[in-house]
Structure 1
Amino acid sequence: MTAFLDVDVRPILRAGGEPFSVIMAALARLAPGEGLRLYAPFKPVPLFDVMASKGFAHREAELEGGEWEIRFMPDNASLETAEPAADAPGDENWPEPSVHLDNRDLDPPEPMVRILAALEQLAPGQTLHALLSREPVFLFRELSRRGHQWRGGFTPQKEFYQLTVRVQA
């Protein structure tokens, strides 16, 4: 039976906040075999792909008032076939980026379009560095689908998101 860490993002969203970093921080605290139980005021469909890329299957249940409980459980089948995460420890030997993009002033989907187009011009193993105004959650699935690896995170002041992508070797 899976043990769950509960995360309720409803108050964060009602206050106008962005809960993604809270969800990812909770995910990082999970012990092997543990799951994450998320409470949200809407069905967080974009999060399903992000969590699947991290090896989690989900089950969803609609609560009263249109709110949702989503249980993310380790998906052992996907973990066995998943590519190693780009930010895995011991994977520090990435070359300096060949391309630098500043996408902070662009509205979606422009940053994703620019990044994917630039990656098409790079040779296997080369890297691209991009600055974004938000975490590119929809881009991650496409990068995985194309076999690329990535690292990313917000600056300490949470001013913008830095993303480095390595083209499939």
Structure 2
Amino acid sequence: MTEYIDVDVRPILRAGGEPFSVIMSALESLKPAQGLRLYATFKPIPLFAVMADKGFVHSEQPLDAGEWEVLFTPAATKQATVSSAAAAVDDWPEPAVKLDNRDLDPPEPMVRILAAAEKLGPGETLSALLRREPVFLFPQLEKRGFRWLGGFTPDGSTYELTVRAPA
């Protein structure tokens, strides 16, 4: 199980400051297999790519008043961007459908994934390869009751997404 170090940058952001150096300093102090729990006044989407480049995957959860809690987990622990009700990837069946959407322009990857997901049987999964993290897809999956796991490959060139149908 990953141990997380808490970094609350909300006071810095509320004061109009830039918390990037605080986050990077905390990151440098992590021990192997430790993660970072970040609290921010907004969903820090630009930070997701930076952290992926440093070998971390993320999961985010909205808090009250538009604030966010984001867990950054070392990719080596096999955790990933996870929907709020997700289980460990080891508990998921092999994908029934595999999609390679890396050569498609938005919104086609999202359209293809949603269409394929709707055809899955209860508890079945699909996997998809993408050029970027599908941030606009996640709310659509959640609204339809799907769970997901995802993260960038170690070289950062491909986002691997697994979607699981409701059981």
Paired-residue identity, %: 50
| Gaps in structure 2 of 5+ consecutive residues | 1-6, 28-34, 45-59, 70-82
Which of 37, 40, 48 is 1:36 aligned to? Answer: 40
* C-alpha separation in 1, matches of 2:68 and 2:62: 8
Match of 2:96 in 1: 98
Contact 1:148 1:168 in 2 (8 A): yes
| TM-score relative to the length of structure 1 | 0.57
SS for the counterpart of 1:119 is helix
* C-alpha separation in 2, matches of 1:37 and 1:55: 10
| TM-score relative to the length of structure 2 | 0.58
Query: Shift of the alpha carbon at 1:36?
Result: 1.5
Where do 1:87-166 residues align within 5 Å?
88=87, 90=88, 92-166=90-164
| Gaps in structure 1 of 5+ consecutive residues | 11-21, 41-52, 60-71, 75-82
Contact 1:4 1:37 in 2 (8 A): no
* C-alpha separation in 1, matches of 2:106 and 2:65: 26
Q: In terms of Rg, which structure is larger?
A: 1
Contact 1:151 1:163 in 2 (8 A): yes
Match of 2:61 in 1: 54
Query: Shift of the alpha carbon at 1:165?
Result: 0.3
Per-residue CA shift, 1:48-87, capped at 9, x if unaligned?
Answer: xxxxx6132345xxxxxxxxxxxx256xxxxxxxx7442x
RMSD: 3.3
Per-residue CA shift, 1:130-149, capped at 9, x if unaligned?
Answer: 00000000000011111101
* C-alpha separation in 1, matches of 2:128 and 2:19: 28
* C-alpha separation in 2, matches of 1:35 and 1:9: 11
